Amino acid sequence: MFISPAFAQSSSSGADLSFPLMMLMLLGIFYFLVLRPQSKRNEAQRAKLNAVRRGDTVVTSGGMVGRVTKVSDTSDEIEVELADNLKVRIVKSTLLDVRSKGEPVKEVTSS
């Protein structure tokens, strides 16, 4: 019923290296499956926001869709026309999607 002292005190040198090696492998997997794709998506989103120009159709984080009427190089704000005679200033970082003039609207498929 009790553990023998010889069994309780035994250790092997292979077991001492296995835990740090396993942790390094898990960190590598985490990096390649989570962190790297996320940073690539962020970089693509940042490039898309920096390429906003007059006439583009944008979707805001609030769900509003409008057409860009004014872009300033000095500030982080753009002017978007949501409806006739309704223009709003929006911070670029709040945009979710930018569609250029000739780009078709993406269809949503339900699965």
Same domain, 55 and 79: yes
Q: Say if residue 91 is in the same domain as residue 56.
A: yes
Cα(60)–Cα(10) distance, integer angstroms: 63
Same domain, 40 and 69: no
Instruction: Report which of 97, 88, 51, 50 is spatially closest to residue 69, judged by C-alpha positions.
Output: 88
Residue 17 lies in a domain: yes
Same domain, 71 and 91: yes
| Reported pTM | 0.61
- Residues contacting residue 70 through CB under 8 Å, at least 6 positions apart: 54, 78, 79
In a domain, 36, yes or no: yes
61-88 pLDDT, tens digit per residue, is 999 999 999 998 888 899 999 999 999 9
Q: Which of 108, 101, 95, 106 is nearest to 58 (CA)?
A: 95
Domain count, the chain: 2
Angle at 80 between CA 78 and CA 85, to 5 degrees: 135
pLDDT in tens, 22-43: 999 999 999 999 999 999 999 9
Q: What is the CATH number of the domain that holds 75?
A: 2.30.30
| The two three-digit tokens of residue 42, written as one number | 């962020």
Q: Which structural domain, as residue segments, surrounds residue 94?
A: 51-99
In a domain, 5, yes or no: no
